[in-house]
Amino acid sequence: MIRIIAGGKKSVNWCAVACAEYEKRLRKPYNVIWQFMDEDKMAKFLADWPFTGREYVICCDERGKNISSPEYSALLSRAFTSGRDVVILIGGAYGFTPEVREKSDFVWSFSNLVFPHMIARLIVAEQIYRASQIAIGGPYHHE
């Protein structure tokens, strides 16, 4: 299972519809649960979150590592193989504290560009679908 914790406003319709298009194609363990929080609530939640290691935490942040889609697919597959659920953190306008980035298992940058959190949500949804297709050798991803 993949739990996505997203900061900022709840998805506007276009974003929710676009993300749902990718999510309806997903199967276990790539099934997704979204949790939306305003930024203040998310900051408090993450400051208190124990980061126990039972979950594989991916923090989306422009200061992270830029990886290819096949590398992302392998990263998710390794997390699932080790019996860990995946948690993906998408920040709001102010991103994450250094402490959250340090406690995360992986800090993922989509590119050198900075994206609004609605676009980041869509990128995450599409990349999860792409990762699932790469893992099964599906036709969606082309090398």
pLDDT in tens, 91-124: 888 889 999 999 999 999 999 998 888 999 999 9
The beta strands (E) that lie in 8-75 are given as 32-37, 55-66
Each residue of 16-42: pLDDT tens digit?
A: 999 999 999 998 899 999 999 988 899
Measured CA angle at 70 (ends 67, 75), to 5 deg:
70
Q: What's the rounded mean pLDDT across residues 65-82?
A: 97
Q: Catalogue the E-assigned strands of 17-141.
A: 32-37, 55-66, 85-90, 106-109
pTM across the whole model: 0.94
- What's the topology of domain 2-136? Alpha/beta knot (3.40.1280)
